[in-house]
Each structure stands twice: as structure tokens, then as C-alpha cells.
Amino acid sequence: MAAYHATWDLGFLRLSPENYALSGLGRAAAHVIAGSFLVLVGIGLVLMNGRGIRPRPTLFRLLRIALAAAAITAATWVAFPDSFIFFGILHCIAVASVLGLPFLFLPAWASAACAILVLAAPHLVRAEVLDAPALLFLGLGAGTPRTNDYVPLFPWFGMVLAGIAAGRLGLTRLARSRLGRWQPRSRLGRAATFAGRHSLAIYLVHQPVLLGLLSGGAMLTGPHPRAGEAGFRAEYVQNCRRTGGEARSCRVAARCTMERLRGEDLWRADGGFTPEQRLRAQGLSQACYEAAEGTRAAP
């Protein structure tokens, strides 16, 4: 989790050529991390309430998570008003921790079957009416909201149910195993145990610390020399294709324009051109596209 967030921060602060956290591999890693969190939530519910719901600790745990989720929403509303987190991993954990309680007393197969249905629901149900702001937490709308962390109930509650099923089936055997009798005796083991027992605090603290440290580094080093290039080329090709350009010519022109902008010290990762620089950049782009088209048309 910390490694993923550090990767996102490096891209956000333009300390890496592109934001690798938003690549296909990065998104897959984010899904695996979130899924593991939620499976552990289900297993934790079995550990805590498997022999009957304990009202006081269950309520206090829920309040801590809900307050932390509210704090995340408030902080991101201030820092990223256009993409604040309104239903992220903590919000999902809070709601799933309530919805999962009845499944603690159902057969494990019933939890597993419901997990499959919940996981499959977004592929079976898509309706624009569910894009209403009050219903976005369901995850069954036709679009995807703009937010920095979106973990809707469907399909992610299915991972909690899978954890409940796994906990009901495996925890008794695990408790009798050698692994279940393990005790932390080394420093590393004790550190891992401490982190596990204070995972919510670590979750809340680590990202502001990482972002603060890397922001300080960005002030000292400036952006990566190639930051923003991949995004520029992708946007160039998209705009070029939209205006009728041929795919190969658009890609060649995008690469040429990037090189020419750098060669004439006109490259600005943030697009901060003066009017004169903008005219010059547009002229370079046009020349590159005409050259690309000429190369394609040549026998």
C-alpha cells in the first residue's frame, strides 16, 4: 500500500516520467491491495464476532473507521476539490462491517455464493439512474465518478463476504496449525505485529508523510526531465485523430512535436506557454504533422 501511494505521489509531483500508479499494472496492483484489505476485513469480523456479536467493541471499531473515513473526505475536499474521496476504502470498510454481520451466522457456502453474486453485479447491472450522487456508493451506475479513491459496495463487498467465508472455513484449522501458534519473538516479527494492530493509524499517517517528504524533494530537484511526455503524446494523438488524422501519422507527429519542443526549449509539462510561445509551438506541430503525412504519402 505504501509503495503504491509513493508511486502515485511521484507521478503527481512530476518526479517520475509518468504516473505509473495510473498505468495498467498500477491499477491492477491497486485492485489487489484493496481486495486484500477487504478479505482481511471479512476474516477480522469472524475473529471478532464469530461466537456472537460483541456490541461495545464492534461499535467502537465502527466509529473509529467512520470518523477516519470522514476525515479523509474532509482532507481531500480541501486538497483535491475536483476529485475528493467520497467513498474510498475506509468508507467501504465501515459500511461492509455492518452489512457483513448477518453473514457471520449463515453457512460459509451462503457467504461464498453471495460473494460471487456481489462480485458479478457490476457486470450484470448498469443503469444511468444509479449515477445519482446519492447512489454512487453502490457502483452500479453507467459512469465512473472522478475521485482519487473509489471502492463502491459492488463489487468490493464481495471481497468482504469471501473473507467471511474463508474465515468460517479455515480459522479453526489455522488455530491448530504451527502457523496459528506462531509468536513474534524477533524485532521484525514484533514490528509486523505492532503494524498489524495499528493498521488504521498507519493508513491515515503514511500518505501525508510521504507526500510531504516528496514535495520537499520536488522543491529541491524540480520535475523529472521527461515528466508529462507520455500524457502529451497521448493527448496529441487523441486530438489529431478527432480532427481526422490518420493514426500512424498522428503518432509520428506527436513524437516529432515533442522532440522539436524540447530542441527549441519550448517544452512545458504544465502547458504554461506565453502567447508567442504558443504560436511557435503550434507552428512546430503543424510542420511535424505535414512531414508525417508527406512520409506516409511517399511511394
The three state secondary structure string of the chain is CHHHHHHHHHHHCCCCCCCHHHCHHHHHHHHHHHHHHHHHHHHHHHHHHCCCCCHHHHHHHHHHHHHHHHHHHHHHHHHCCCCCCCECHHHHHHHHHHHCHHHHHCCHHHHHHHHHHHHHHHHHCCCHHHHCHHHHHHCCCCCCCCCCCECCHHHHHHHHHHHHHHHHHHHHHHHHCCHHHCCCCCHHHHHHHHHHHCHHHHHHHHHHHHHHHHHHHHHHHCCCCCCCHHHHHHHHHHHHHHCCCCHHHHHHHHHHHHHHHHHCCCCCCCCCCCHHHHHHHHHHHHHHHHHHHHHHHCC
- Band the pLDDT of 46: cuts 50, 70, 90: very high
For residue 205, being part of any structural domain is answered with: no
Number of domains present in the structure of the chain: 2
pLDDT tens for each residue of 175-192: 788 877 888 889 998 998
pLDDT tens for each residue of 150-177: 999 999 999 999 999 999 998 888 878 8
Residues 234 and 117 in one domain: no
For residue 212, being part of any structural domain is answered with: no
Residues 117 and 172 in one domain: yes
Residues 192 and 233 in one domain: no
For residue 234, being part of any structural domain is answered with: yes
- Flag whether pLDDT at 295 surpasses 70: no
- Please give the pLDDT value at position 272: 65
Residues 172 and 235 in one domain: no
Residues 129 and 87 in one domain: yes
- Flag whether pLDDT at 281 surpasses 50: yes
For residue 258, being part of any structural domain is answered with: yes
Residues 193 and 236 in one domain: no
For residue 217, being part of any structural domain is answered with: no
For residue 125, being part of any structural domain is answered with: yes
For residue 221, being part of any structural domain is answered with: no
pLDDT tens for each residue of 182-232: 888 899 989 988 988 899 999 999 999 999 999 999 899 888 888 888 888
Average pLDDT of span 25-38: 94
Residues 50 and 189 in one domain: yes
Q: What is the residue range of 145's domain?
A: 2-197
pLDDT tens for each residue of 243-271: 888 888 899 989 999 888 888 887 766 66
Residues 77 and 135 in one domain: yes
